């Protein structure tokens, strides 16, 4: 078994080899459309969001235009993403708040973002990282699962996992690394396709692991 420092170095180097420039998976044109897309991605695949947002953004791709739409119209467009009653209300209200309190612009402040309807810490962190380039480490259920399999956290919850990953990896790698882990998890270390003994990183980090790695849910 590799020591933790060795695992960290191997993971960083291997993910850089596999995904040297990981793309942002949600289609967007600016911080506002990214914010809306990330909000829509809760309990929904990025692929589905990318199918829905072109129609939504054709009608409203800025807070002023979105605030002019009826909530029911927003809901009818985003229904395939799930949770449409809550998400449509959140999109409508956060658009109004951006106009009222931020001059129609998405703030580059994580606390201000977290105060917006429907925007939790993970969504705010994604926007800070991908729209503004501020070092952040958004942790979703996939990253939470892989961090446990790779022995990087005890994984009691996503808050602890985020704190542990930030402590282990250099700050300049955070924004790139969180995307790299997501892509690797989708392709190689899936919930059903790897149980902690199958994929290359799991095998390398724990070559002697005999049993499936049981992970705690977020």
* Domains 4-22+137-205 and 31-132 are alike in CATH topology: no
CATH topology for the 31-132 domain: Endonuclease III; domain 1 (1.10.340)
* pLDDT value for 61: 98
Q: Which of 4, 16, 30, 140 is catalytic?
A: 140
Active site residue 122: yes
* pLDDT value for 198: 97
Q: In the structure encoding, which two tokens stand for residue 39, read together?
A: 């909000």
Whole-number mean pLDDT of the chain?
96
Active site residue 108: no
Using the predicted structure, report yes or no on whether residue 155 has a pLDDT greater than 90: no
Distance CA 184, CA 15 (A): 8
Average pLDDT of the segment spanning 86-107: 98
% of residues, the chain, pLDDT over 70: 100
Query: How far is CA 25 from its chain centroid?
Result: 9
Q: Where are the alpha helices (DSSP H) in the chain?
A: 4-18, 31-40, 46-59, 63-68, 71-78, 84-102, 110-114, 121-132, 141-149, 158-168, 174-187, 200-205
DSSP 116: S
User: Domain residue spans in the chain?
Assistant: 4-22+137-205, 31-132
Are the beta carbons of 138 and 126 closer than 8 angstroms? yes
pLDDT per position as a tens digit, 14-41 = 999 999 999 999 999 999 999 999 999 9
Q: Which of 89, 122, 210, 213 is catalytic?
A: 122
Q: Domain 4-22+137-205, what architecture?
A: Orthogonal Bundle (1.10)
Average pLDDT of the segment spanning 207-215: 93
């Amino acid at each position: 078994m590799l020591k933790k420092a060795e695992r960290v170095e191997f993971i960083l180097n291997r993910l850089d080899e596999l995904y040297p420039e990981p793309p942002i998976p949600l289609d967007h044109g600016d911080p506002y459309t990214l914010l809306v897309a990330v909000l829509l991605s809760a309990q929904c695949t990025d692929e589905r969001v990318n199918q829905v947002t072109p129609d939504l953004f054709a009608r409203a791709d800025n807070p002023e235009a979105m605030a002019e739409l009826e909530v029911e119209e927003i809901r009818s467009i985003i229904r395939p993403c799930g949770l449409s009653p809550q998400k449509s209300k959140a999109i409508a209200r956060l658009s109004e708040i951006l106009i009222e309190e931020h001059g129609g612009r998405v703030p580059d402040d994580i606390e201000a973002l977290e105060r917006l309807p429907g925007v939790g810490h993970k969504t705010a962190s994604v926007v800070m990282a991908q729209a503004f380039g501020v070092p952040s480490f958004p942790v979703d259920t996939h990253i939470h699962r892989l961090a446990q399999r790779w022995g990087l956290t005890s994984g009691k919850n996503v808050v602890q996992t985020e704190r542990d990953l930030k402590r282990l990896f250099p700050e300049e790698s955070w924004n790139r690394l969180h995307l790299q882990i997501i892509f690797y998890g989708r392709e190689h270390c899936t919930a059903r396709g790897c149980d902690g003994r199958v994929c290359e990183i799991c095998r390398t980090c724990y070559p002697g692991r005999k049993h499936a790695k049981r992970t705690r849910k977020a």
